[in-house]
A and B are shown apart, each in its own frame.
Chain A
Amino acid sequence: MRKVIAILLLAVVGYYILGTLLNLPFGQKATGVGKYYLDSTIKETGTVNTVTSIVVSYRGFDTLGEVTVLFLAATGLGAILFDKKGKKRSLQNASLIVKTSSKMIYPLTVLLGAYVFVHGHLTPGGGFQGGAIIATGTLLMFMAYRSFETNHTALTIIESLAGLTFVSIGISGLIWGYSFLQNILPLGTPNELLSGGIIPLIYIAVGFKVGAELTTVLDTLLKTIKG
């Protein structure tokens, strides 16, 4: 009896979800705001990558919120897994092949991450992606060399300075008499590295912050494994 009711309910829910999905036009503009962004991004923000201009410029305040959420998550994790003794990861190394190849791949991964967040306004990607790529490279080193240590004080300082940079760039818009996170620098020529005003600066700060935070999270988590 219960199964019959469950199947009936599922059928009703499925019918309405299917109806909604079939009515949605796929790949077509539902509102006009997308066209506005595509038309006016280069003129207003000087960035070629429309996604970056939306994330950092038009919706920059939301990005600040996202960075804050990530920061709070990392802080909460550190608080839950805090141990007075100062745990160490177990000292068993990986095999020679893994060690050698990660030694070669690690600098390249960090370089790729830095490239992704420095060129966030020109190519796909940005601060979050670049930071995550850097943390992935560090993870590889953590797994290959159990003795590989990160300096937690340095990571905390990088994280705080990056967050402070983001907020102070935002406040400088207020100081110059515009709104929060308003562009105060010259826009430059589109498609050049030094273009887009404050957007590259913010994405570099976000990249450093996310990279440092995710590295700290991984280090904290890996140190909880015994043996």
Chain B
Amino acid sequence: MDWLTILVPFLSLLIIIAAGFAVYQKDLILAIIGTSAISVVLSIFFYILQAPDVALTEAAIGVALSTIIFVITIKKTKRYEE
């Protein structure tokens, strides 16, 4: 049995859970952690799909830079969603 047959459904489930968490979480900082978790899993997916270039970009920009920009924005506005 190929290890990808176990890994891919598991990662897909993980990405859906993280997306749901990001949508339904009222604390926006935690929601942003959810989106960056999506980026982590997505970069693993890109690596599995043999696109290491895109995986590097997703890891650097999706996980680190866009997260910090969102955090700064929330720091300047409101932390909790009504």
- Chain A residues in the interface with B (C-beta under 8 A): 49, 51-52, 116, 124-126, 128-129, 132-133, 135-136, 139, 214, 218, 221-222, 224-225
CB neighbours (8 Å) of B64 from chain A are 132, 136, 139
Not counting A124-B52, A139-B64, A222-B72, a sample of 7 additional A-B residue pairs whose C-beta atoms are within 8 angstroms of each other reads: A51-B53, A125-B53, A128-B57, A129-B56, A129-B57, A136-B64, A139-B65
CA distance A205 to B22 in the complex (A): 37
Q: Could you name 10 residue pairs across A and B whose Cβ atoms are closer than 8 Å?
A: A116-B56, A124-B55, A132-B57, A133-B56, A133-B60, A136-B60, A136-B64, A139-B68, A214-B65, A225-B72
Cβ-neighbour of B65 out of A49, A132, A222 (below 8 A): A132
**Which of A52, A132, A139, A214 has the most chain B CB atoms inside 10 A of its CB?**
A132
CB of B75 closer than 8 Å to a CB of A: yes
Contact with A along B37-57 (1 / 0, CB 8 A): 000000000000000110111
Please name the 8 residue pairs, one residue from A and one from B, whose CB atoms are nearest each other, closest first.
A124-B52, A132-B60, A129-B56, A136-B64, A51-B53, A124-B53, A125-B56, A221-B72
Q: Report the minimum CB–CB distance from A173 to chain B (whole Å).
A: 25
A51-B69 Cα distance, complex, nearest whole Å: 28
Known: A136-B64, A139-B64. A221 touches B56 (CB 8 A): no
CA distance A15 to B76 in the complex (A): 42
Q: Nearest CB to that of A132 among chain B residues?
A: B60
With a cutoff of 8 Å between Cβ atoms, the chain A residues found around residue B52 in the complex are 124-125
Number of A-B contacts (CB under 8 A): 43
Interface extent on B, as a size class? 10 to 19
Task: Specify which chain B residues have a CB less than 8 angstroms from the CB of A124 in the assembled complex.
Answer: 52-53, 55-56
**A136, B61: Cα distance in complex, Å:** 9
Question: Inside 8 A of B53's CB, which chain A residues have their CB?
Answer: 49, 51-52, 124-126, 129
Give the distance in Å from the alpha carbon of A221 to the alpha carbon of B73 in the complex: 9
Q: Tell me if B56 and A224 are in contact (CB < 8 A).
A: no
- The CA of A160 and the CA of B34, in the complex, are separated in Å by 37
Within 8 Å CB of A225, what residues of B?
Answer: 72, 75-76
A129/B60 contact (C-beta < 8 A), A124-B52, A124-B53, A221-B69 known: yes
| Chain A residues whose CB sits within 8 angstroms of the CB of B68 once the complex forms | 139, 218, 221
Contacts of A218 in B (CB 8 A): 65, 68
Residue numbers in A under 8 Å from B56 (CB-CB): 116, 124-125, 129, 133
